[in-house]
Structure 1
């Protein structure tokens, strides 16, 4: 797979990464065996960037910190093939009451040590501040990340779901290599100020949910098939009225895909890739077949006419993002 630079500090990754959250939470029943097979296949395909977090998952075989433990098991013996990314800053996510956040320096340092232990590695290639703690200035949180770099526990730092101002402030403390935010044909908010700021500062963008949590693949025709614990059941964009209205975006994607004889999800991913060489999407899956489809999208070239057609519906989404 093609390689991309994230930031100006030397971090080089595959043009597409693998989001690992869904292997352990939010999208139905976990299956650790197929998830490990998917990670192995990703490495075989040249996908180097694996994205996890300390807060992902309390299901599957591994219990608390499940996703990091799962990924640590999957990369055993193949660590040198991986650009390993994890995060800190979210303590817990409770349905109906939102996120509990914490990112004071002592907590950041403790989380890093715990993540290294769960993953079974001596350093993280990329370590994100998962969310800004409203009780802790971002300068203090990023200062702790900088200390981890000096200690050799982290190679590069990132921030996630920040404003343009927060990105500026973080980068002033220590060079930031990557900013992670949701970005896709139905979520384009980062284009307003975060992406321009990142580009001015030389920071790469890592979009999560580049397939609109599966909606943009065209495979979801109703929410009735979602498992009871599927997070999409509570998302406004998947509610009945919004769901039907958002099919207009999918229909345009389907039309382009039919002409190119590819899958709708591949077109949606190719659109993200086409937005710049400083963008590295991390579509998530726990199935090898979907992984292979996603990986092929990194090679799909959309014409100016294709992009123009997609831009006519891009971002015209009904319903709040969460």
Structure 2
């Protein structure tokens, strides 16, 4: 397994996003998910990403079952700050110090661990003083409940402000061939402050694989009301998926492997965390580590997918809360 540095430690160059094992992408299967988690660890994946909001705690509990007997082998990243109501996509953001402390204790219990390796603010409330939020996280580090802190979907200026208060180990942002927003300053700011950019949805929520039929999404799949997957946007974006497929075929790899391999060339501080609950997709994604892209390949791929190419917003208005905080 190829590795990259995160908070001073070696972690796998590709992590595993676990959100879909609990909700958002149709019915879940705990037994299948646990087999995939175990296979990932056996293959050398050491960074697993979750959040208290995924499945209303279910995802952390699932990871807790997986962690039994493997705690020293892997690193767990989880998040706080998105407060949701069961049965609804609605959410609010809570960054108050009291909430952060309570959320951390709840995550520790569900995960069955004494320390969270990487604890992210899932979203930042623009009305909450950043100093208080980072101060509360720093207090958890001092208490030994958290090893390193991270932020999600923040601007370069916010990252620099936060890092001046306490070291920030990672920023998690959506980053892929159809979402190149982090190139507008976040990647550079991460380099400056010594943070990793953990790229979530690196396969465009599956769209870039060319295997997603937007007309047959399963019940409960949140992509059915995601702007990029609906109406005229879906038809326009199908051309992006087709282009990825063609470029991949010319290089002897799958579209998923091309998309991930390209991200891995964007800097040693970039760690994609593709999500899957199926072993076959896990194996395919890990194959990206064996794809070699030269300077000409990288330039051609980047030119084919310029920033702003995708049709539609990344989320519905509710999901856009807290982005670029």
Same fold (TM over 0.5): yes
Which position in structure 1 is the counterpart of 2:50? 52
Q: Deviations over 1:26-45 (max 9, x none)?
A: 00001000000010011011
Deviation, 1:296, is 1.2
**Distance across 1 between alignment mates of 2:294 and 2:241:** 18
Which position in structure 1 is the counterpart of 2:323? none
- Tell me which of 118, 128, 143 is aligned to 2:110: 118
Taking the TM superposition and a 5 Å limit, the aligned residue runs for 1:158-237 are 158-220=150-212, 222-237=213-228
Structure 1, unaligned runs of 5 or more: 58-63
- Tell me which of 12, 30, 35 is aligned to 1:32: 30
Deviation, 1:261, is 2.1
Deviation, 1:299, is 2.3
Residue 105 in structure 1 maps to residue 97 in structure 2: yes
More moved, 131-140 vs 173-182: 131-140
Structure 1 stretches of 4+ with a deviation exceeding 3 A read: 93-98
- Does structure 2 conserve the Cα–Cα contact (< 8 Å) formed by 1:19 and 1:283? yes
- Tell me which of 62, 83, 100 is aligned to 2:75: 83
- 1:161–1:12 distance in 2 versus 1, CA, 3 Å: same
Q: Deviations over 1:127-181 (max 9, x none)?
A: 1111102332122111111111111111111111111121112111110010000
- Does structure 2 conserve the Cα–Cα contact (< 8 Å) formed by 1:86 and 1:128? yes
More moved, 281-290 vs 305-314: 305-314
Which position in structure 2 is the counterpart of 1:145? 137
Which position in structure 1 is the counterpart of 2:283? 292
- 1:251–1:112 distance in 2 versus 1, CA, 3 Å: same
Deviation, 1:257, is 1.5
**Distance across 2 between alignment mates of 1:39 and 1:97:** 26
Partner SS for 2:244: helix
Which position in structure 1 is the counterpart of 2:320? none
Taking the TM superposition and a 5 Å limit, the aligned residue runs for 1:278-317 are 278-314=269-305, 315=307, 316-317=309-310
Which position in structure 2 is the counterpart of 1:262? 253
Which position in structure 2 is the counterpart of 1:19? 17
Deviation, 1:96, is 7.9
- Given the two structures, how large is their TM-score scaled by the length of structure 2? 0.93
Deviation, 1:319, is 1.1
Residue 128 in structure 1 maps to residue 126 in structure 2: no
- Does structure 2 conserve the Cα–Cα contact (< 8 Å) formed by 1:207 and 1:282? yes
Residue 2 in structure 1 maps to residue 2 in structure 2: yes
Partner SS for 1:224: helix
**Distance across 1 between alignment mates of 2:24 and 2:284:** 21
Partner SS for 1:186: coil
- Does structure 2 conserve the Cα–Cα contact (< 8 Å) formed by 1:256 and 1:306? no
For the aligned residue pairs, the C-alpha RMSD in angstroms reads 1.5
Q: Deviations over 1:167-216 (max 9, x none)?
A: 11211111001000000000011111222111111211000000000000
**Distance across 1 between alignment mates of 2:238 and 2:89:** 30
- Tell me which of 236, 255, 260 is aligned to 1:245: 236
- 1:12–1:138 distance in 2 versus 1, CA, 3 Å: farther
Which position in structure 2 is the counterpart of 1:61? none
- Does structure 2 conserve the Cα–Cα contact (< 8 Å) formed by 1:2 and 1:14? yes
